[in-house]
Amino acid sequence: MPRHRVADIAELVARQQARNQKLLDDLQSCCECHPDVDPDDIIPSVLSRFAHGEKCPECHCSMVTVESKSEGDRVQVCRDVIGAIKMASLIVDRPGELWLASKYKYNPNGMVSGAIHQTIQIDDYDVTPREGPVVRVQGLRSRITAGKVSIGDAGEVILES
């Protein structure tokens, strides 16, 4: 059962902005706990997932080996920092589209290794099939006007046909 109908696209824009801001806030919070780490200097691909028993001096989390852009060499960085950098890289902000949901992929160590984002065009658009006439597809704005967009109990966006 839908929790409520979306009456204005501004509600979903605010939802996307809040999600993106939370990812940035989480990264900033993590960086405040780890002042010696510059997230812009880290390539967040873990080169060695083995921590070798080393723990982060700030939060006591496992350290992992990654590459530093400035040093061009391997460095040990807290696993939580790498996770925050990866999550912040998953911000969705595409012109003409709005974020609806994301499904995250995790590696065997529980770190985010990728994401699949579900987005929708804000305005109506045309699709030209190989054969046949051009098909007009309803964008989010038209669906909201028609009362076909809801927010479910778990906060998910429901697009009705």
Task: Encode pLDDT of 7-45 as tens digits.
Answer: 999 999 999 999 999 999 999 999 999 988 899 999 888
pTM of the model: 0.80
Structure tokens belonging to residue 7: 């009456």
Q: Which of 46-60, 97-111, 114-128 has the lowest mean pLDDT?
A: 46-60
Kind plus residue range of the DSSP H or E element containing 27: helix 9-33
Torsion of the alpha carbons at 27, 31, 33 and 36, rounded to the nearest 10? 160
Task: Encode pLDDT of 43-63 as tens digits.
Answer: 888 777 665 678 888 888 888
Residue 145 DSSP symbol: H
